[in-house]
Amino acid sequence: MKYSLSLGKIMGIHVQIHWTFLILIGWIIYKNLSAGRTTEETIFAVLFILIIFVCVILHEFGHALAARHYGIETRGITVLPIGGVAELTEIPEKPREELIVALAGPAVNVIISFIIYPFLNITKETIAAMQWPSVDANTFLLNLMAVNLWLVLFNMIPAFPMDGGRVLRALLSFRMDRVVATRIAAGIGQFLAIGFVILGFLGNPFMIFIGLFVFLGAQNESEVVKTKSALQGYRVADVLMRDFSVLQTHQPIQAAVGLLLNGQSRNFLVMEGEQPVGTLSRDEIVKALSQYGIDVPVGQVMNTNVTFLHAEMPLGEAWQKMQQYEIEFAPVMHGYHLVGVIDVENIAEFMMVQNVTKSS
Ligand SMILES: [Zn+2]
């Protein structure tokens, strides 16, 4: 995720904090000091947030390790002020696996609560003193358990992209088609999201953010599943472009401009001899021109983030891979041979054509 501060790798998974988390820390400090609390109390409050932050990371590791058990890797874990995100390289599609991976996160917070419980000092006074964001030595653990239980309840709200939404879809998928299950789960999610936004306007502005986050997440999930199902039964070979222009790494960017002006393509493959080594989009060409002039070699400014797709690969899988790696354009191989290129616009056009021919 962009604008994040890296904390390094833990168990092979990249952990980072989003910069907006720093705003949260700033807000806590401001709230405490402006309420006349001492520096010591303020430090306690910040420490408390940092420990919650660790609980959120552990929650995400719950998802990531459960996914790893099913052979799915996690690209990274990012902590945002509204919670964490584990970026799995793919979403498990078997209902049982999706269920376990979704439950593994909240399960971690349940375990943390069980660990804290024997050390709690629950009296009328400590409960009365539980006034967040004021946390002191007496109420520290009680607050920590409350937050962990809140993380469980909040995440189990049956709305995408919250864990509860995935649990709901997995449970529905045991009995029905995944696309239908997703549509139902996303519909429930959006209904709840509207409720959050209304609640937000009535009092808690934080809920507006969560409502929007859930609403867009549900819509996105629904689109992804719909697209994948529309592409089902097709292979990359069905949409690849066999006729395409290539550039060589040693050619000047001027050659790319020539191709851009002469043809319809917006993306080009860059080769080193017979081997594809990079891509170059229209925007990248324009940027390179303005930065380095017309003589810079293509190899110096190309995008080296190349994802190779295979001609026999299911089209839905290729499309999802392109979404995940945020690439628009990829070389298509058959064995060790380059047989064509594919771009996301091709796939979109292909779907449009399919829709028209299906409905007529
Ligand atoms: Zn979760």
What is residue 261's predicted lDDT score, i.e. its pLDDT? 87
What distance in angstroms lies between residue 104's CA and the mean position of ligand 1's atoms? 8
Of 164, 196, 230, the position where a domain reaches its end is 230
Whether 16 and 149 share a structural domain? yes
Whether 28 and 108 share a structural domain? yes
What is residue 350's predicted lDDT score, i.e. its pLDDT? 83
What is residue 115's predicted lDDT score, i.e. its pLDDT? 93
What distance in angstroms lies between residue 357's CA and the mean position of ligand 1's atoms? 41
What is residue 69's predicted lDDT score, i.e. its pLDDT? 94
What distance in angstroms lies between residue 128's CA and the mean position of ligand 1's atoms? 30
What distance in angstroms lies between residue 213's CA and the mean position of ligand 1's atoms? 14
Q: How far is CA 349 from CA 169, 325, 354, 355, 356, in A?
A: 29, 21, 9, 10, 11
Q: pTM for the full model?
A: 0.69
What distance in angstroms lies between residue 206's CA and the mean position of ligand 1's atoms? 19
Residue 167 lies in a domain: no
- Name the helix (H) or strand (E) containing 207: helix 206-230
What distance in angstroms lies between residue 207's CA and the mean position of ligand 1's atoms? 18
What distance in angstroms lies between residue 112's CA and the mean position of ligand 1's atoms? 14
Whether 274 and 310 share a structural domain? yes
Of 230, 262, 296, the position where a domain reaches its end is 230
Whether 217 and 293 share a structural domain? no
Whether 51 and 82 share a structural domain? yes
Structure tokens at 182: 């997703």
CB < 8 Å & 24+ apart, contacts of 335-341: 338/269, 338/274, 338/276, 339/237, 339/240, 339/242, 339/311, 340/240, 340/241, 340/242, 340/244, 340/311, 341/240, 341/241, 341/244, 341/267, 341/269
Whether 220 and 249 share a structural domain? no
Whether 119 and 34 share a structural domain? yes
Helix (H, G, I), strand (E, B) or coil at 85: strand
What distance in angstroms lies between residue 57's CA and the mean position of ligand 1's atoms? 10
Rounded to whole angstroms, the Cα distance separating 269 from 200 reads 48
Q: What are phi and psi of 206, to 5 degrees?
A: -55, -35
What is residue 70's predicted lDDT score, i.e. its pLDDT? 93
What distance in angstroms lies between residue 59's CA and the mean position of ligand 1's atoms? 6
Whether 305 and 190 share a structural domain? no
What distance in angstroms lies between residue 360's CA and the mean position of ligand 1's atoms? 43
Residue 226 lies in a domain: yes
Whether 13 and 146 share a structural domain? yes
What is residue 152's predicted lDDT score, i.e. its pLDDT? 92
What distance in angstroms lies between residue 146's CA and the mean position of ligand 1's atoms? 17
- Would you list the DSSP string of 102-154? HHHHHHHHHHHHHHHGGG----HHHHHT-BTTB--TTTHHHHHHHHHHHHHHH
Q: How far is CA 34 from CA 21, 27, 81, 134, 140, in A?
A: 20, 10, 21, 12, 21
Whether 113 and 51 share a structural domain? yes
What is residue 345's predicted lDDT score, i.e. its pLDDT? 82
Token pair 């502005």 is found at: 205
Rounded to whole angstroms, the Cα distance separating 345 from 88 reads 25
Whether 142 and 38 share a structural domain? yes
How many domains is the chain partitioned into structurally?
Answer: 3
Strand order in the sheet with 275-281: 246-248, 267-272, 275-281
Residue 37 lies in a domain: yes
Token pair 């001899």 is found at: 273
35 neighbors 96 (Cβ within 8 angstroms): no
What distance in angstroms lies between residue 53's CA and the mean position of ligand 1's atoms? 13
Per-residue pLDDT tens, the chain, 360 aa: give them. Answer: 556 788 888 888 889 888 888 888 888 888 888 888 888 888 888 888 889 889 999 999 999 999 999 998 888 888 877 778 888 877 788 899 999 999 999 999 999 999 998 887 777 766 666 665 566 677 788 888 888 998 899 889 888 778 999 999 999 999 988 888 888 888 898 888 888 888 888 887 777 877 887 888 788 778 777 787 788 888 888 888 888 888 899 999 988 888 888 877 888 899 998 888 999 988 888 898 889 988 899 899 998 888 889 888 888 888 888 877 778 889 999 888 888 999 888 888 888 787 777 654
What is residue 240's predicted lDDT score, i.e. its pLDDT? 86
Residue 40 lies in a domain: yes
Task: State which residues form the domain around 101.
Answer: 4-156
What distance in angstroms lies between residue 279's CA and the mean position of ligand 1's atoms? 35
Residue 169 lies in a domain: no
